[in-house]
Amino acid sequence: NAGVMQNPRHLVRRRGQEARLRCSPMKGHSHVYWYRQLPEEGLKFMVYLQKENIIDESGMPKERFSAEFPKEGPSILRIQQVVRGDSAAYFCASSIGQAHYEQYFGPGTRLTVT
């Protein structure tokens, strides 16, 4: 049973480019969470999605960031016009239901903006 998968593991973008981060939840999980981790910091909640619905995006920056979890395929975190401050590790977690505390984390995508 594969765990949460994220790709790419490392992503380098120049300022102004777009970054797309993908997350495939564990088999049978229909709830996805995105977190951002700055160096030497804890993880910060960004957004919680179920299939085709954004449930809670209270942690998402108001501009340039968007997330989706389509009926088919992985969840996508999209960052438009990246800036250096977007450089961080982005982690995805999934849960089997609305038991939001039973979250299993993926290995993360490390985004570097040059």
Partner 1 sequence: GESVGLHLPTLSVQEGDNSIINCAYSNSASDYFIWYKQESGKGPQFIIDIRSNMDKRQGQRVTVLLNKTVKHLSLQIAATQPGDSAVYFCAEVAGGGADGLTFGKGTHLIIQP
Q: Catalog residues that contact partner 1 under the rule CB under 8 A.
A: 4, 33, 35, 40-46, 48, 55-56, 58-59, 91, 93, 100-101, 103-108
The answer to whether the CB of 109 falls within 8 A of the CB of 10 is yes
Closest CB 99 distance from partner 1, rounded Å: 10
Closest CB 72 distance from partner 1, rounded Å: 23
The answer to whether the CB of 44 falls within 8 A of the CB of 65 is no
Beta pairing class for 75-79 and 19-24: antiparallel
CB-nearer residue toward partner 1: 52 or 56 = 56
Which among 5, 3, 13, 17 has a CA at the least distance from the CA of 64?
A: 17
Amino acid at 22: R
CB-nearer residue toward partner 1: 18 or 59 = 59
Closest CB 91 distance from partner 1, rounded Å: 5
